[in-house]
Amino acid sequence: MTSTTGAGRTERIEFEGSQNARLAARLDLPEGEPRAHALFAHCFTCSKDIFAAARISAGLAERGFAALRFDFTGLGASGGDFANTNFSSNVEDLVRAADWLRANRRAPDLLVGHSLGGAAVLAAAADIPEARAVATVGAPADPAHVAHNFRADIERIVAEGEAEVRLAGRSFTIRRQFLEDIAGQRLAERIAALKKALIVFHAPLDATVGIDNAGAIFQAAKHPKSFVSLDDADHLLTRRADAAYVADVLASWAARYLPKPEAAEHRRLQPEPGELIVYEAGTGKFAQVVDDGEHRLLADEPESFGGTDTGPTPYGYLAAALGACTTMTLRMYADRKGWPVEWIATRVRHEKVHARDCADCEAKAGKIDRLGRSIEVWGDIDEEQRARLREIADKCPVHQTLERRNLIETEIRQVAE
């Protein structure tokens, strides 16, 4: 279902969440083609339609963003049982939302989280590689902070396994597993490993999540990072001006880290059947998008080589091709033979070595590429079967392509602007 808003239109959508329930969502769209896509996570026991979520998403749409907001499992219009959820399931719901965007629109460039939703986007960011920037609004530095909302009931929850608690005038069932899950989170470690631009919005007088939480998040993060004080705003941003301010600052700040408009235009290129396109992502010196028409992947270089480490290196994809081909080939062979092979994993390592150290190589000077392959097989197979699998691994098509001399033909086509 589609409805119009002041910014453009809003689409109602559904997707499957972490516990296989249908999650309700809204996609706020700008007039015209979106400049970027954002994913918004709401606060604890709230919904996608709470004022802060709705106003910030609408504000982003007014500034050219497509913004997806959804109800976590068991909340709002989403299915599922809230009592069975926890912080980890919320994180997985976020990843599922990003998967929907990736499959139906474009993977989110920006992650935004309010209150506990802010902690959730920090935890989920590593599993959404396309996201370039993360924003938190009144977020706790530790998910366990949320337990203060029902601290009077904690002993009963622990003793009885669950308890009905009152939160914002409504009853919710909180189970012991929820407490155990939030207690086991290590959010500071995830923040330190974020590798994305971060902006922290927090009100100094926030009575629900103290300003010290913003300091802890900011301290744990590496640059680039920014902090914006929300002055006398309340935790839920109930004043329209406060939510509008967050949207305005956020859109301006994020533009620095999002794909350049000219790079976004390249995303419209469609590979021909059997063809694969690799083009610059526009988000770093070496960052690339790998597109075969059905799947989009990222390639990059590590930060130590001047990249932004948003995806495997070109040699990483080469190793991946060999590993995937090896495992597929062994699976087909084992199944055809009816051998009891339960699972196969292939480890691949690429390195440059001196030719003089390779006894079986024709070249004896300079350096050569060496791909080391270690295959792990789960199942009750004997020595003879294991030896045969070793032989079959060398027959995988990618292995044979790499070993023989190959012809690579190149042409340069100038594209007019």
pLDDT exceeds 80 at position 194: yes
Query: How much is the average pLDDT of 89-100?
Result: 96
Question: Residue 100: which pLDDT band, with cuts at 50, 70 and 90?
Answer: very high
Per cent of the chain over pLDDT 90 is 64
Q: Give the pLDDT score at 360.
A: 57
Q: Give the pLDDT score at 76.
A: 92
Query: How much is the average pLDDT of 395-416?
Result: 85
- Note the pLDDT tens digit of each residue in 343-401: 999 999 998 876 665 555 555 556 778 889 999 999 999 999 999 999 999 999 999 99
**Considering Cα of 350, then 351, then 356, then 357, what sign does the dihedral take?**
negative
- Note the pLDDT tens digit of each residue in 223-247: 999 999 999 999 999 999 999 999 9
Per the CB < 8 A criterion, the answer to whether 86 and 74 are in contact is no
Query: How much is the average pLDDT of 213-230?
Result: 95
Q: Give the pLDDT score at 277.
A: 85
Distance CA 342, CA 179 (A): 36
Q: Give the pLDDT score at 392.
A: 95
- Note the pLDDT tens digit of each residue in 298-353: 888 887 888 777 788 999 999 999 999 999 999 999 999 999 999 999 999 998 87
Burial bucket for residue 37 (CB in 10 Å: 0-12, 13-18, 19+):
buried
User: What is the token pair recorded at 188?
Assistant: 């500071």
